[in-house]
Structure 1
Amino acid sequence: MGIIGDIFGFIATPLYYAISAVLIAWHKLLTMIGLDPEGGAVWVLSIIGLTLVIRAALIPLFVKQIKSSRNMQLIQPKVKELQKKYGHDRERLAQETMKLYKETGTNPFASCLPILLQMPIFFTLFHLLNEAAKDGTPHGLLTRSLAQDFGEAELFGRLPISATFVNSDGHIGVMVLAAFLVVAMTATTFLTQRQLMSKNMPADALSGPYAQQQKMLLYVLPLVFAVGGIAFPIGVLFYWTTSNVWTMGQQFYVIRNNPAPGTPAFAAKQERDKAKAARKGEPVASEVVEAAPETPAERRAAQRQQPRKQTRQQRKSSGGRPAGGTTEGGKQK
């Protein structure tokens, strides 16, 4: 445990300072507008503010995740072709599939990056709140006084934000609030994944390995959060639930305004665009369906098929006819 503790301390130390700095900033701001500095509401709202700051910082990563996820959907026909061609040779199939991912700039693990990056923050906040509740131990920029206020803060004057469902000391209010947040956290996780699969995945992508991965996450992630959530403090549950609501809303916006081609969301957007153009009396622009990302080999093949340009002297010598043209008799010159 000594080595593990040292590793955790090495990772958590800068996170303690970052998290505590954002918490204190929100705490001061909310106190300035009249909230009780020692109350649970100010600390819960500070945790929600912390969540918003973190998720805003992760927006570039989310955009990268969306692009990679879209590429995964669009290359599914090519993946199926590889499966038919190399299905008898698993090693060759894996090599060719990874080659396809590399050529199209696709990362099959990009969908997990936001969760993986948030986990250290999640557990650091858990440890920060847990230590403050036990004996007022400060971490990062928290003073002992602020740490004691943080650890002893009670929502509605009677629900400690450091309490958990399994460690509620029989307090019904704590158990009800913790259960509500666990259900909300689980439901938002499920709905977010379900939204992606039902609205923004082409029909071809619903039967391949990528679809199997998504189906597994659809049921496994909510189960993990439900089982683990009963041991998380109420303050930490507010963090994760707020993060899930952000993810669900962010994904809804992207799917509605920039859906993947060949999906129900794409068809719905086309209908909305047509209806909007009809209301304005404008001609309906034809939609351009996005093709699967080209590989370098495909781009080279397309370039080889382009006609060669002629110099002015060549055009004069050929009588103005293009290279490879035909004579009046129909023979190629």
Structure 2
Amino acid sequence: MDLYAFPPIAALLDGAYAVLMGLADLLEPVAGASSAAAAVVLLTLLVRAALIPVGISQAKAERTRARLAPKLAELQRKHGKDPERLQRETMALYEAEGTTPFAGCLPMLLQAPVVGIIYALFILPTIAGHPNALLAQTLFGVPLGSSLAGSVVTGIAVPATLAVFGTIVLAIALVGELTRRVFRPQPTPPPAAAGAASAPVSPLSNPDTLRMLGFLQFATAVIAMFVPLAAALYLLVTVAWTLAQRVLLRRVYPLPEVRTA
């Protein structure tokens, strides 16, 4: 069954498609042949602006986790040999602070439907029964519906294709490196005993997790090589916005200073 053919989803996609193409028409006098690409950028900015409350929620959750880290470490020190007691005390701490170990996860999940709709606009040949004209639009002569991997494999990659995709992929990788350096996560103290692992403590206590988070900053650059150009453009704008937003929100909601004994 084609999920995108389901009437409610098809209608939602058709509405988003109409908005995108309407923006392209408005931008054509300024952007010319790249008006659809400019519309993708503008639409992405509008979506990210609408998700600002999600970013604020994540920033607050990050600050709360950092603030509770010393208290969690103390609970692990006291009750590390009693996993059940540690579990109760940990949950009581979160309850007293008005939060949960999973604070910040729900906001990220709320973005999934938005990302899914926008991504579908860039990959579907037809939307609600009519051709997807977006895929025929270009950016510097490169079709928005083409992908770098597909162009290379089929042998149709031209210098313009390599230049446009190369610029976008390198830009995404640069943003990823900046994000990794600016927001390098700090590990929390490990549990005092092996049994303490059953408590809902932060996964950042694991050095392997920290290394994986660092590598994930560059996963978007790899993905951009395989998705349509319009989707790669969306990813670039998204990661750049996210970095700028996190820098700003970190100033508004700074993490507590880490005190060492």
Task: State the TM-score, normalizing by the size of structure 1.
Answer: 0.62
Aligned to 2:135: 151
In the TM superposition, 1:83-94 aligns within 5 A as: 83-94=76-87
Match in the other structure for 1:275:
none
TM-aligned CA deviation for residue 197 of structure 1: 3.3
CA–CA distance in structure 2, aligned partners of residues 17 and 235 of structure 1: 17
CA distance in 2, matches of 1:97, 1:233: 45
Match of 2:150?
167
| Matched residue type, 1:138 | I
Of 27, 31, 47 in structure 2, the residue corresponding to residue 54 of structure 1 is 47
- Map 1:4-15; keep pairs closer than 5 Å: 5-6=2-3, 9=6, 12-13=9-10, 15=12
User: Residue 8 of structure 1: CA displacement?
Assistant: 8.9
1:256 to 232, 235, 251: 251
Q: Secondary structure at the match of 2:150?
A: coil
Match of 1:304? Answer: none
- Report the CA distance shift for 1:177/1:115 in structure 2 as closer, same or farther (over 3 A): farther
Instruction: Determine the structure 1 residue equivalent to 2:38.
Output: 45
Q: Aligned AA for 2:222?
A: V
1:93 CA displacement: 2.7
1:54-203, aligned counterparts within 5 Å? 54-113=47-106, 115-132=108-125, 137-139=126-128, 144=131, 147-148=132-133, 150-156=134-140, 158-168=141-151, 169-197=156-184
Relative to structure 1, the CA distance from residue 7 to residue 239 in structure 2 (aligned partners, 3 Å threshold; closer, same or farther) is: closer
2:194 aligns with none
Report the CA distance shift for 1:222/1:73 in structure 2 as closer, same or farther (over 3 A): same
> For residue 193 of structure 2, what is the aligned residue in structure 1?
none
Paired residues of 1:190 and 1:218 also in contact (CA < 8 A): no
Q: Do 2:224 and 2:235's aligned partners in 1 also have CA atoms closer than 8 Å?
A: no
Whole-Å Cα distance in 2 between the matches of residues 180 and 95 of structure 1?
Answer: 51
TM-score (norm 2): 0.77
Alignment-derived partner of residue 321 in structure 1: none
Q: Cα deviations across residues 94-144 of structure 1 (Å, max 9, x unaligned)?
A: 343233223212344444455433343334333322223xxxx2349xx64
Deviation at 1:153, TM superposition (A): 1.2
Q: Confirm or deny: 8 A CA contact 1:122 1:236 kept in the other structure.
A: no
User: What's the secondary structure of 2:124's corresponding residue?
Assistant: helix
Residue 14 of structure 2 contacts residue 127 of structure 2 at CA under 8 Å; is this kept in 1? Answer: no
Unaligned 5+ runs, structure 1: 265-333
Kindly tell me: are residues 57 and 93 of structure 1, through their superposed partners in 2, closer, same or farther at Cα, counting changes over 3 Å?
same
Question: In terms of Rg, which structure is larger?
Answer: 1
Going from structure 1 to structure 2, the CA distance change for 1:82 and 1:130 (only over 3 Å counts) comes to same
Structure 2 Cα separation of the partners of residues 107 and 65 of structure 1: 13
Q: CA RMSD in A?
A: 3.1
* Distance of aligned partners of 1:191 and 1:59 in 2 relative to their CA distance in 1, 3 Å threshold: same
Q: Does the aligned pair in 1 maintain the 2:36–2:138 contact within 8 Å?
A: no
Residue 78 of structure 1: CA displacement? 0.8
Change over 3 Å in CA distance of 1:15–1:103 after alignment to 2: farther
Q: Which runs of 5+ in 2 are unaligned?
A: 191-201
Q: CA deviation at 1:26?
A: 1.8
Counterpart for residue 26 of structure 1: 23
Partner deviation per Cα, 1:3-62 (whole Å, 9 max, x = no partner): xx449947844641453243134223213x4443xx2x1111111111111111111121
When residues 221 and 107 of structure 1 are mapped into structure 2, their CA distance, relative to the original with a 3 A threshold, is farther
Inter-partner Cα distance in structure 1 for 2:7 and 2:212: 30
SS of residue in 2 equivalent to 1:167: helix
Greater relative contact order (Cα 8 A, min sep 6): structure 1 or 2?
2
